[in-house]
Amino acid sequence: MLLSAVRRWMNKPKKSDPRLLATFYYANEEVSGIVNELESLNLRKEPQNYLALLNQLHSSQEHMLGIIEQIMELCVSTKRQQRDYLQKFPDEIARENMATQILFAAQLLVGGTYIEVEEAEGSLLRPLAQELLRGLADLRYALKEQSFEDPGSYPETIHKALLHYDRLSAEFELRYVSLLVSVKTPEEIYLQQEVAVLFCETVSRALKKGYLTQEMIDYCEPELMISIPRLAIISGLLIYPDGPLNLQKRPKEMCELFRPFHGLLKKIQELLCILTEKELISLERALCCASSDDSSGHLSSISDSPNKWNFINHINGSLPEPRSTIMGITEIPRPEVPISWETQSIGIQCQSPVTMQSNCTSNYCKSDRSNRTYRDQGVIKTAVFEYSGNTETECTRSQHHNQHLKYAHRNLRFQYVRSRYRSDSDMLHRLFVCIAGVADQLQTNFASDFRAILKTVFETVSSKQQEEREKTTDNAFRLPDCCLCQNNTERHTVAKSVPPEWLPDNASSHCMSCYASFTLLRRRHHCRSCGKIFCSRCSAYSSTLPYIVSTHPVRVCSHCYHVHCNPLNSHKMDQDWTEA
37-46 pLDDT tens trace: 988 888 788 8
Q: Note every long-range contact of 71-75, with CB atoms under 8 Å and residues 24 or more positions apart, other chains counting.
A: 71/20, 71/21, 71/24, 71/143, 71/154, 71/162, 72/162, 72/166, 73/471, 74/20, 74/154, 74/471, 74/473, 74/476, 75/154, 75/158, 75/159, 75/162, 75/473
Average confidence (pLDDT) over 387-410:
60
pLDDT of residue 11: 74
Amino acid at 11: N
What is the reported pLDDT for 4? 65
8 Å CB contact between 25 and 144: yes
Using one digit for the tens of pLDDT, what is the confidence trace for 420-466?
A: 777 778 888 889 999 999 998 998 888 888 888 998 898 888 876 44
Of 14-18, 24-28, 358-362, the range with the highest mean pLDDT is 24-28
CA 164, CA 139: separation in Å to the nearest integer?
9
* Buried residues in 349-381 as b, exposed as e (16+ CB within 10 A): ebbbbbebeeebbbeebeeeeeeeebeeeeebe
Taking the C-alpha atoms of residue 32 and residue 280, their distance in angstroms, rounded to an integer, is: 67
Chain-centroid distance of CA 563 in Å reads 36
Q: What is the C-alpha separation between 95 and 92, in angstroms, rounded?
A: 7
Question: What one-letter code names the amino acid at 219?
Answer: Y
Q: What is the DSSP string of 101-164?
A: HHHHHHHHHHTT--SSS-HHHHHHHHHHHHHHHHHHHHHHHHHHHHHHH-TT---HHHHHHHHH
Residue 306 pairs in a beta bridge with: 423
Rounded Cα gap, residues 292 and 286, in angstroms: 9
Distances (CA, A) of 339 to 2, 162, 332, 349, 382: 114, 85, 19, 9, 8
- Per-residue pLDDT, 296: 57
- Per-residue pLDDT averaged across 25-33, rounded? 93
What confidence score (pLDDT) does residue 425 get? 81
pLDDT tens by residue, 151-209: 888 999 999 999 999 999 999 998 988 888 777 888 888 999 999 999 999 999 999 99
Count the neighbouring beta carbons within 10 Å of the beta carbon of residue 494: 12
Instruction: Give pLDDT tens digits for 85-116.
Output: 777 777 667 665 688 888 988 998 998 888 77
Given this model, what pLDDT does residue 395 score?
A: 62
- Burial of residue 496 (CB within 10 Å: 0-12, 13-18, 19+) is middle
**Region of residue 346 (left: phi > 0; alpha: psi -120 to 50; beta: else):** beta
**Cα→Cα distances 481→478, 486, 487, 530, 559, Å:** 9, 8, 12, 10, 12
Q: For residues 436 and 230, is the Cβ–Cβ distance under 8 A? A: yes
Going by C-alpha positions, the residue among 177, 388, 456, 417 that lies closest to residue 311 is: 417
Query: What number of CA atoms fall less than 13 Å from residue 395's CA on the CB side?
Result: 0
Helix, strand or coil, per DSSP, at residue 176: helix
3 state DSSP class of 293: helix
Residue-range domains of the chain with CATH:
2-180 (no CATH), 186-301+430-461 (no CATH), 311-420 (no CATH), 477-579 (3.30.40.10)
**Residue predicted with more confidence, 285 or 493:** 285
Is the Cβ–Cβ distance between 513 and 538 less than 8 Å? yes
pLDDT at 409 over 60: yes
Rg (CA), the chain: 38
The pLDDT value recorded for residue 461 is 86
More confident residue, 476 or 211: 211
The 3-state DSSP class for residue 192 equals: helix
Q: Which of 242-246, 286-290, 398-402, 512-516 has the highest mean pLDDT?
A: 242-246
Confidence category of residue 341, pLDDT binned at 50, 70, 90 = very low
Asked if residue 273 lies in contact with residue 362, where contact means CB atoms within 8 angstroms, the answer is: yes
Give 573's pLDDT tier (boundaries 50, 70, 90): very low
What per-residue confidence (pLDDT) applies to 351? Answer: 37
Between residues 313 and 514, which one has the greater pLDDT? 514
Question: How many other C-beta atoms can be found within 10 angstroms of the C-beta atom of residue 550?
Answer: 8
C-alpha distance from residue 474 to each of 106, 361, 541, 562 (Å): 35, 57, 19, 10
Which are the contacts of 523, defined by CB distance < 8 A and separation ≥ 6?
535, 536
What is the spatial distance between Cα 203 and Cα 217, in angstroms, rounded to a whole number?
9
pLDDT at 487: 47
